[in-house]
Structure 1
Amino acid sequence: MTQTVPNGPALDREARGDSATGLPPVPQHVHGAADLASRPTVQERLDRRRRWQGLALVAAPVLVVVLFVGVPVVNAALFSLGFTGGLNQALADIGGDTVRGFSFAVYGTLLGNATFLRDLVATLGVTALSTGLTVALAVAVAVILRLRGGFLGKSLSVLAVVPLFVPVVIASWSILTFTDAQGFLRSLGAQFGLDVPVWGYTLVAVVFGSVWTSLPFAVLMIAGALQGTPDALVEAAKDAGASTWRVVWEVLLPMAKTPLVIATTFTVIGVLGSFTVPYFTGPNAPTMLGVDISKYFQAYNRPQQSTAMAFIVFAFAAAASVFYLRSTVRSNARELEKQKQEQP
Structure 2
Amino acid sequence: MTAEPTTVREDRAAPSRRVRPARGVAGARAAAGLGMALPPILLIALFIGFPIVLAFAFSLGFTGGLNHTIAVIGQNVHEADGAVPDLGAYTDTFTSQRFLGDLAVTVAVTLTSTTIVVLLAAAIGLYLKFRGGLVGKVLSGLAVVPLFIPVVIASWAILGFYSANGFLRSVAAQLGVEFPVWSFTMVTVVIGSVWTSLPFATLLVTSGLQAVPQAMIDAARDAGASFWRVVASVVLPMAGVPIIIATTFTAIGILGSFTVPYFTGPNSPNMLGVDMSNYFSAFNQPQQAVVMAFVVFAIASGIAAVYVWANFRSAKESGAV
TM-score by length of 2: 0.89
Offset at residue 268 of structure 1 (A): 1.1
Q: Which protein is bigger by CA-based radius of gyration?
A: 1
1:116 to 90, 99, 103: 99
The aligned counterpart of 2:276 is 293
- Name 1:181's counterpart in structure 2: 164
1:315 corresponding residue in structure 2: 298
Match of 1:65 in 2: 44
1:271 partnered with 2:250: no
Cα distance change on mapping 1:103 and 1:251 into 2, 3 Å: same
Q: Structure 2: how far apart are the matches of 1:128 and 1:83?
A: 35
Match of 1:228 in 2: 211
Q: 230, 238, 246: which one pairs with 1:255?
A: 238
The answer to which of 201-210 and 260-269 deviates more is 260-269
- Structure 2: unaligned runs, 5 residues or longer: 1-16
Aligned equivalent of 1:213: 196
Superimposed CA distance per residue, residues 233-264 of structure 1 (whole angstroms, 9 cap, x where no aligned partner): 11111111111111111111111111111111
Distance in 2 (alpha carbons) for counterparts of 1:45 and 1:235: 58
Task: Output one character per residue of 1:83-103: Cα deviation in whole Å (capped at 9) or x when no partner.
Answer: 101110000000000000012
- State the match for 2:53 in structure 1: 74
Q: TM-score, normalised by structure 1?
A: 0.84
Relative to structure 2, which stretch is displaced further, 234-243 or 131-140? 234-243
Aligned-partner SS, 1:199: coil
CA distance in 1 between partners of 2:118 and 2:227 (Å): 19
Query: Looking at both structures, which has the greater relative contact order when contacts are Cα pairs under 8 Å and sequence separation is at least 6?
Result: 2
- Map 1:18-37 to 2 at 5 A: none
Instruction: Give the partner amino acid of 1:282.
Output: G
Aligned residue in 1 for 2:266: 283
Query: In the alignment, which residue of structure 2 is the partner of 1:87?
Result: 66
1: CA distance, partners of 2:256 / 2:124? 26
Q: Does 1:97 align with 2:76?
A: yes
Q: How much does 1:330 deviate? A: 2.2
* Structure-1 separation of matches of 2:105 and 2:259: 16
**1:239 maps to 2:232:** no
Aligned residue number for residue 18 of structure 1: none
Q: Provide the rounded CA distance (Å) in 1 between the counterparts of 2:211 and 2:222.
A: 20
Residue 160 of structure 2 aligns with an amino acid whose one-letter code is: T
Task: Find the aligned partners of 1:335 and 1:144 in 2 and give their Cα distance.
Answer: 27
**Residues in 2 aligned to 1:79 and 1:41: alpha-carbon distance in whole angstroms:** 49
Which amino acid counterpart does residue 264 of structure 1 have in structure 2? T
Distance 1:139 1:215 in 2: 11
The count of residues paired between Structure 1 and Structure 2 equals 300
Runs of 4+ in 1 over 6 A off after TM superposition: 44-47
Q: Percent identity?
A: 52
Structure 1: runs of 5 or more not aligned: 1-36
- Give 1:331 shift: 2.3
What RMSD in Å do the two structures reach over aligned CA positions? 1.8
Instruction: State the secondary structure of the residue aligned to 1:219.
Output: helix
1:131-150: CA deviation from partner (whole Å, max 9, x where unpaired): 11000000000000111000
Partner of 1:56: 35
SS at 2:79 equivalent: coil
